Structure formats: structure tokens, C-alpha cells
Amino acid sequence: MPIRYFIKQWLLPPGLLFLLLLAAWWLRKRRPRLALACFVLGLGGLWSMSLPWVVEHAARQLETEQALSLEQWSGLAARADAIVVLGAGRERGDPAWGGQDQPTGTALERMRYAAQLAKASGLPVLISGGLHYGTPPSEAQLMADRLRDDFGVQVKWKEEGSRTTWENAQMSAQVLQPLGIRRVVVVTQAWHMQRSRWSFERAGFEVVAAPVGFLGQDHARPFAGLLPDSRAVWQSGQLLNEAVGLVGYRLFY
């Protein structure tokens, strides 16, 4: 896992863009035209990734699933038999929590939404998320603890072995389908929902999409989102990773 992660970080932006800038410096005397091209691509890519306007418009290409209306929440029990919440990583050893690992902000956003859906519909909840580099507790356990203590929702099942979206779906199927559960509400980020739906449908589920955390909306940013923003770099990286994953899943699974 660490080696794969290392390679992935340099093959995708912003790592790839930094490599282009390094190549531009290295080639500046021997191949000035190639160096200029690397510099323009590297700097232009970093500039584009830093613009909220780019994030907003790129996200719209991935966020194809509509949000559930508030009126649909209570009716979910007629359309599904369980709610599945996908893990989203964890923060290591937060001193504010006595050094205990905590779900990421993205995971908390999913949990908060899932808690409201569960309370409105009465559907049972499964959390899907395995170990982070093999270190316990699992993401599923961390999220289940926080759902219980912070949101008052008791998780019925924990899938604690998955490391990818594909494994989220396959291992959730191993838990739920022997119980006769094949209709699920899947809760994840809006930009992650295409790949999640595809994976869960391939695993034999009928999916009700419950996307949260839309990035493709007009967030009323200053100067129409055309000024660099540090948060936009992280968001652009997530969208690029998702776009590559969406293509890769269809090729390899």
C-alpha cells in the first residue's frame, strides 16, 4: 500500500505538475523549448488547480446524481432496506481527543447526513471502511463510535475490511446479501457517487443514491472564483483522482 500510494502521488497532479517544473529547470539549458513547455504545463496546471471556478465546473461533470429532497427522507424505507455509509479516511492521534484517531471532516459530513436519513426513515445503518495501513481501529469502528456518541445513531453492521470503493461494495454485499438485503441507500460525496453506484450495482445491489457535499454549486466566492485558493488545490486533486478512478474501474473491474 505505501509504495502504491507513493507512485500514485507522483503520477497525478499536483505531484506530476511539480515533476514538470523540475524537468523545466533540469532542461533549461540543453532543451530550452522543451523546458518552456514543461514550465507552462506545470505552472498552468497548478494555477488551474488553485481556482475555485475550475473546481466548480469540473465537479459538475462528476456530480451527476441529484440530491435527495427533504420530502424523500421519510419515504426511503419504501425504496431500500438499509443505509450504507462509505468511509473517508481518518485523522491520526488528535490530541484534542486524547490522542485517539478521528474520522476526517469528509467522513463526518457523510455521517451527519446518514444520521438524519436514518432518523427520518428508520432504516438500519452499515458503515464500510477498513484499516488504515493495517492499523486498528478500522474506519468503520471510528465512524460507528462517533455516530453513536455524537449523532445518537446505533450502527447495525460494520464492514471493516475494505480499502477501496470496489471493496466497499463487494464486502458490504458479503454482509448484507445473505440477510436478503439488496436495496441500499448509499451515502458518499456527490463527486464520488458515480463510481460508488457503479461498484454497488456490480455487486448486485439496487442503489438509491444519497450524495452529499456538492462542489459543483455556485458558492458565491469573491471575484467569481478566479483567484487562487489553497482549498481549491485539494478539491481539484480529489476530482482528478475520482475521474481517473472512474475510468480505471471500468477498465479493470
For residue 184, count other CB atoms closer than 10 A to its CB: 25
pTM assigned to the model:
0.93
Q: How many helices (H) and strands (E) does the chain have?
A: 10, 7
In the chain, what percentage of residues exceed pLDDT 70? Answer: 99
As given in the structure block, the three cell numbers for residue 83 are: 443505509
Query: What pLDDT, on a 0 to 100 scale, did the predictor assign at position 7?
Result: 84
Q: Please spell the DSSP secondary structure of 108-168, one letter per residue.
A: HHHHHHHHHHHHHH---EEEE---BTTBSSPHHHHHHHHHHHHH----SEEE----SHHHH
What's the rounded Cα separation, in Å, for the pair 16 and 11? 5
Rg (CA), the chain: 20
End-to-end CA distance of the chain, in Å? 19
- Asked if pLDDT for residue 162 goes beyond 70, the answer is yes
Q: Pick from 51, 27, 29: which is nearest to 39 by CA?
A: 27
Query: What pLDDT, on a 0 to 100 scale, did the predictor assign at position 1?
Result: 56
- Asked if pLDDT for residue 53 goes beyond 80, the answer is yes
Average of per-residue pLDDT across 206-227:
90
Average of per-residue pLDDT across 142-164:
97
Distance of CA 133 to the CA centre of its chain: 18
Three-class SS of residue 239?
helix
**All domains of the chain in start order, with CATH:** 2-62+230-252 (no CATH), 70-212 (3.40.50.620)
Query: What pLDDT, on a 0 to 100 scale, did the predictor assign at position 19?
Result: 96
Residue 105 contacts residue 145 (beta carbons within 8 Å): no
- The predicted-structure confidence for 163-198, as pLDDT tens digits, reads as follows 999 999 999 999 999 999 999 999 999 999 999 999
